[in-house]
Structure 1
């Protein structure tokens, strides 16, 4: 069996070698009399066509049969039988006759071979293009399936690791008493609470720094008729002291505004929250807005953790820039039917209950 395979392989290799040699060898073509041979072949074909046309005309003249009606099978069974017999007799007569072949030296076989080769080449090109498209689609599908397989392997590995951890935890718990498990749970909860308290403190300090350094001045500018919070990022105390025009533009800071005028304006907008000692300086506009924002956030938090929970609203004293900022920032929301009621958004629930 192995010897037969070896012989077959040797024959294939020999055939491949011969085919490569034939392909590499230049075609022997005598171009000296090509035009003469083509003209001779054309004349032979034309003579053959005329000969066949003459025979056909002779047959038509000698026969009384209608060619068009004889070309189709008759509906009459007897007539149809006669047609079949005639066709049979024609095949018997034509079978012994040798077919027409071109003369020796004719280029007709070469032309026919060239036409066949051209058709084969065009078909091969179309097949190559179609095969390349199929290969590209198959490669894309293969890459997608490989990516899916990789994801599935990662998920499987993650699930196996998770199962192993749970198994180890289960074995560890099964070896401990309920009292030990309770102590460990309490310790874990305390550590979690300490982490939450530290994160809350850090976030609170960051919020206080943001309000003190940036937000308070922008809220004060909006309260004084200036741009909305966020449109003017760097608001100086001198700009707040000078105020804003009706168009929301900052007034000139060349004219000094008296402290009494500023204090009266602050009391009119933010109210007199606490008495001022003689040795204390009156609060600036930014400080007043800072105090209002902190108090508002504190009241909203108290309402959130109060008896009503996330459904309770805080009753506002007035519509302020601080309130509008919290709503625009989607930190708080108004009551659907009362714009003087506000509450913090409980991010653990839907926006609207």
Structure 2
């Protein structure tokens, strides 16, 4: 390869120095004013047009000269081929010292080119940042999911290992005990479970009885007297129970009656709806709330006995009438009517397996 002449290098260095000086003087375009900027742009456009025209003229001259001197295709003869190579070599040597076609020092073209390059770089950088951010977020979510999966897997593994260790210890201890000791431990464990179940039953029964006496009984009494369905009316007093309810479910206005007449009418209504009390020797007067509570307790006890098989009539209980207590148990999804007989009721066995359901 031919070495670049020193004159060409000197010209290039001189032009670079002039360009740097021009750029340093033009760092802030805004300070020069709009008129100066437009003038410089016009000058740059004219300069570019001049250079385009010059290049066009040179191209035409080169085409004209190539059509006469420069061969269009390599010759087959070695001597002619060598002559063609010498012509091409001479053309390169003639063009090498030529000063490169570069914009003048006062041209704003380098600034515009640099600005465009910077804008493209910034746009590409923003796009790359957005794409990288999305990829990072997706990778972070995937990492969090994998970490959670790993945490769950480690927890399951630890639990299984602990369970296996306990079973091994139990098996080792059981193998060292006699059959009588094992039987005694099983009986003791069963008795402890039975005691715990009985205590829990007593607790739940007390809670149920307290709920009935405090809230549910008076609501059932209102429903039996023709009032709103249990749960719809919260504020209920004794005067409302004594007066009763109309066909529209509204509380009746208590008419002016003496106490003895009002008591006789109320007692007659109690006997007609709930019947005579089982303990007729009890001297304590009962009211609608007590009668509804007693009916609910009796119905629940009969349903439990039927479910346990101690009722003697299967799992269904024969109802004497359509009572508010029975309807409430059905609405609460505690009991259900027979599919073909609405006078028969049974508890829903929540402990029954799904495959055993009819």
**TM-score, normalised via structure 1 length:** 0.74
Q: Aligned residue for 1:317?
A: 320
Structural RMSD (CA): 3.5
Q: Aligned residue for 1:243?
A: 244
SS of the counterpart of 1:258? helix
Change (3 A) 1:100 1:197: same
Pair 1:213-2:214 in alignment: yes
SS of the counterpart of 1:42? helix
Report matched runs for 1:1-353 at 5 Å.
28-30=24-26, 37-50=40-53, 96=92, 100-253=101-254, 255=256, 258-274=262-278, 276-277=280-281, 280-306=283-309, 312-349=315-352, 350=354, 353=358
1:352, CA displacement in angstroms? 5.3
Indicate the larger mover: 246-255 or 147-156. 246-255
Q: Aligned residue for 2:11?
A: none
Aligned residues: 300
SS of the counterpart of 2:233? coil
1:160, CA displacement in angstroms? 1.8
SS of the counterpart of 1:300? helix
Indicate the larger mover: 318-327 or 341-350. 341-350
Change (3 A) 1:150 1:41: same
On the 8 A contact 1:304/1:310 being kept in 2, the answer is: no
Change (3 A) 1:294 1:102: same
- 1:101-155: CA deviations, max 9, x gaps? 3344433233222212221121111111211221122222222222222222222
Which blocks of at least 5 consecutive residues in structure 2 are unaligned? 1-22, 63-71, 74-83
On the 8 A contact 1:41/1:107 being kept in 2, the answer is: yes
- 1:163-209: CA deviations, max 9, x gaps? 22112111111111111011000000000001001111111122122
Indicate the larger mover: 248-257 or 292-301. 248-257
Which blocks of at least 5 consecutive residues in structure 1 are unaligned? 1-26, 60-83
Change (3 A) 1:205 1:55: same
SS of the counterpart of 2:248? coil
Change (3 A) 1:219 1:338: same
SS of the counterpart of 2:24? coil
Distance 1:106 1:243 in 2: 106
On the 8 A contact 1:276/1:282 being kept in 2, the answer is: no
SS of the counterpart of 1:238? helix
Could you say which structure has the larger radius of gyration?
2
Change (3 A) 1:152 1:308: farther
